[in-house]
Structures are given as structure tokens and as C-alpha cells.
């Protein structure tokens, strides 16, 4: 655990020290600010962040691949992965450390958006309910965990950061468009595609519905993706 924590802190520090990390934060805040101003700050409408959270799957789409694309691909490209794999560091510690570091950066990126509910609580009458805000931010964290898991796996598979970005982007798009594909897919595939749908579950979180089935599914999906990434690194180690 100490090794994984050290790697996580090193990874988090790399985002803060590089201009790319701040550009990613600025991009996300720009997107969320536009959504907040256009869908929430509307005269006569109830003070709610439901639309903001309902669009969370799309707001994270251009951001998370940029966060995750260099997690492992940069190590593979530069050759430092050889030192990591031959050092007394387990693949679990390496992958979990990278994942936790990226997740901490993602959570830090979400912190400035807390100003949105604060503004509504100060200026709106009546103030928005606390429950949907809590469930909405929980959804953002869980969804970000899934997206980062996809990005981590893509980054483990290729030394090209741009290719890892594209793989992550299209994989997330595939998940987001799964409900639409279910309508035109062959009958045997429809239940599978419907099960991959995140949109309805995100909508439940946005309405303040805390369903343990949704939470378990999001967390388990992220865990499976991390385990798959560990398996890929184990294969590289034995090579």
C-alpha cells in the first residue's frame, strides 16, 4: 500500500506541475460553466442542478481521456516501464497507484464546481434540495472512475498516448450510445446493450435517487477495468 500511495502522489504531482493538467481543469470548468449558465440560471425555473448532473457523462467525455492517456503509455514510450517492471514493485501497486493518482486529480477538478450549488443556495428561493446534489456528485465520482478505468486499460495496451486517447474516447462513446444501438441491434444483443447503458442510471442519480444497485454496478465496473489493466501489465512483466 505504501508503494501504491507513493506512485499515486507522484502521479498527482505530475498533473499539477505540467501545463496540460491546468488546461484540462480549465476545459472542464468552461464546459460545466456553460451548462450551468444555460440550463440552471434561467429565470422562473426551479433551482436545481439536475440538468448539470444529467449531462455529466458528456461533460467528462473530452476530459478524462486527456487525463488517462499518459498513465502507462508514457512509461511504455520512454522505456521507464522496464525499470518499473523489474523493480520490487507488484503490478497491483503500480496500476492502483496510477489509477488512484488520476482519480485524485479528477476529484480535485470537481471541487471548483461546488460553487454552483453554493450560488443556488445563496440566491435562490427556495434553495435546492441537498439530496440530489450529493447523489449527483457521487455520480460524477463513480462515472469518472469508470472512464478512468477505460483510459487506464487503453494506456496499458499502447505506447502511443494519442492512440490511447482515441481508444478511450471511442470506448466511452460506445457506452454512451449503447441505448440507441440497442434499438436497432439483433434481438439477442439488445439485453446486453441495454445493460451497458449508463444514461438511465445517471438520470436516477441526477434526480437524487441513491440506488445501491447503480452504485455497485459503477464500482464493480471500475474494479473490473483496473483488474484487466493489472492483467495486461502482468503479461508485459512475464514477457
Its pTM stands at 0.90
Q: Count how many domains the chain has.
A: 1
Which has the higher per-residue pLDDT, 219 or 195?
A: 219
Domain extent for 92: 2-238
Sign of CA dihedral 217, 93, 5, 80: negative
Range of lowest pLDDT (11-15, 47-51, 63-67, 79-83):
79-83
Q: Nearest 5 degrees, angle CA 144-CA 71-CA 213?
A: 25
Q: Nearest 5 degrees, angle CA 169-CA 34-CA 127?
A: 115
Query: How far apart are alpha carbons 95 and 72 in whole angstroms?
Result: 9
Task: Note the pLDDT tens digit of each residue in 187-216.
Answer: 666 666 666 677 778 878 888 788 888 899
If you ran DSSP here, which 8-state letter would residue 195 be given? H
Model confidence at 119, pLDDT cuts 50, 70, 90, reads: confident
Query: How far apart are alpha carbons 109 and 87 in whole angstroms?
Result: 32
Q: What share of the chain is helix, strand, coil (3-state, %, to 5)?
A: 80, 0, 20
Model confidence at 48, pLDDT cuts 50, 70, 90, reads: confident
Amino acid at each position: 500500500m505504501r508503494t501504491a500511495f507513493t506512485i499515486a502522489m507522484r502521479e498527482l504531482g505530475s498533473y499539477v506541475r505540467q501545463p496540460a493538467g491546468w488546461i484540462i481543469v480549465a476545459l472542464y470548468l468552461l464546459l460545466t460553466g456553460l451548462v450551468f449558465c444555460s440550463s440552471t440560471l434561467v429565470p422562473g425555473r426551479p433551482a436545481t442542478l439536475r440538468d448539470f448532473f444529467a449531462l455529466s457523462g458528456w461533460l467528462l467525455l473530452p476530459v478524462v481521456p486527456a487525463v488517462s492517456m499518459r498513465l502507462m503509455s508514457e512509461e511504455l514510450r520512454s522505456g521507464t516501464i522496464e525499470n518499473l517492471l523489474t523493480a520490487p514493485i507488484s503490478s497491483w501497486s503500480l496500476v492502483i497507484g496510477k489509477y488512484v493518482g488520476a482519480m485524485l486529480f479528477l476529484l480535485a477538478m470537481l471541487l471548483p464546481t461546488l460553487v454552483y450549488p453554493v450560488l443556488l443556495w445563496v440566491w435562490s428561493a427556495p434553495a435546492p434540495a441537498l439530496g440530489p446534489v450529493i447523489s449527483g456528485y457521487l455520480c460524477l465520482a463513480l462515472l469518472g472512475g469508470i472512464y478512468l478505468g477505460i483510459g487506464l486499460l487503453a494506456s496499458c495496451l499502447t505506447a502511443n498516448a494519442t492512440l490511447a486517447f482515441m481508444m478511450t474516447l471511442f470506448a466511452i462513446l460506445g457506452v454512451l450510445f449503447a441505448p440507441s444501438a440497442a434499438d436497432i441491434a439483433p434481438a439477442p444483443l439488445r439485453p446486453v446493450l441495454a445493460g451497458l447503458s449508463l444514461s438511465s442510471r445517471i438520470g436516477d442519480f441526477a434526480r437524487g435517487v441513491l440506488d445501491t444497485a447503480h452504485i455497485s454496478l459503477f464500482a464493480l465496473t471500475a474494479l473490473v477495468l483496473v483488474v484487466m489493466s493489472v492483467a495486461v501489465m502482468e503479461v508485459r512483466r512475464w514477457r
